[in-house]
Amino acid sequence: MKKLTIVWTFALLETISIAAVTPALGQGVATGSLTTSKSSQQSSQDAAEPYWTQHGRLTFGIQFGLGLENNIPHNISHINFIFAAPQIGIIAWDSPHSRLPLKRFELISQQMLGGSTHPGGIVIGTSLVMRFGFTPIHKVVPYFDAGSGPLHTTIDEHAPEITGHTQFLSQGGVGLQYFFRPQRAFVLEYHYFHMSNAGIAPPNHGFNGNMLTIGFRWLRRPHPSSVGTLHHNRFHLPHLW
């Protein structure tokens, strides 16, 4: 029970940290609004822009996935698991007009709720994920993810690869977001992961694997008073985002 409490505490701290950053970014947007309001020409241009070019800082999502153990360095138990991954994130930085391919940086608190279909056991955890968004291709936005976090699992009772209920999942991979509507996107994602207990209990063999997920993501719309103020500062977002 104590180990499970550690996992939920970590998830709570992630959520609090993301919430704490939001007001600070909001103040930055408000300052930019005062500057841009000085130009009536810019205000007129903003008024002519479609509503979907404007949105707030928070992002939300839900993904469903499958994880499979691979044979690097070995595949003893043929571990596989299915899971749901609700997410909440914040857009920390944007540079849509940059000449570099990198356009956006986000911090995402991602949860994992699932279980192993073979050899058996539950998987409950949380991860802090860094997401790097690249130049959109029409309605498709490619990105790269990297993150890590603790989880509680009982797979160790059925597989010798891991020891103890407390494990850590480190992952990295690529994904595509297809915006079928303004601020709404389907997500397809591939991650390579490593699960082990970080030396908490011997032996600490751990195992590697692949994860494939599909899901849905949406961006929160801004308060009406902020519409027309996000496009003339360094946090400006591309139209398809």
pTM: 0.74
Q: Does residue 231 form part of some domain?
A: no
Residue 236 included in any domain: no
CA nearest to 168, candidates 183, 156, 182: 156
Domain count along the chain = 1
| 159 occurs within a structural domain | yes
Collapsing DSSP to helix, strand or coil, 93 comes out as: strand
Contact of 79 with 116, CB cutoff 8 Å: yes
On whether residue 209 sits in a domain, the answer given is yes
Domain assignment of residue 32, given as a range: 2-226
CA distance linking residue 111 with residue 212, whole number of Å: 15
In a domain, 51, yes or no: yes
| Strand residues in the chain grouped as ranges (E) | 58-69, 80-94, 102-118, 122-134, 140-153, 166-181, 184-196, 207-219
Kindly calculate the radius of gyration of the chain based on its CA atoms and give it in whole angstroms.
20
Report the CATH number at residue 99: 2.40.160.20
pLDDT tens digits, one per residue of 22-42: 454 444 444 444 344 444 444
pLDDT in tens, the chain (241 residues): 555 555 556 655 565 555 555 454 444 444 444 344 444 444 444 444 333 345 678 999 999 999 999 998 888 999 999 999 999 999 998 887 888 999 999 999 999 999 999 999 999 999 999 999 999 998 999 999 999 999 999 999 999 999 999 999 999 999 999 989 878 999 999 999 999 999 999 999 999 999 999 999 998 766 555 444 444 444 444 444 4
Kindly state whether residue 138 falls inside one of the protein's structural domains: yes
Q: What is the pLDDT of residues 106-119, one digit of tens each?
A: 999 999 999 999 99
In-domain check, residue 20: yes
Is there a domain that residue 234 lies in? no
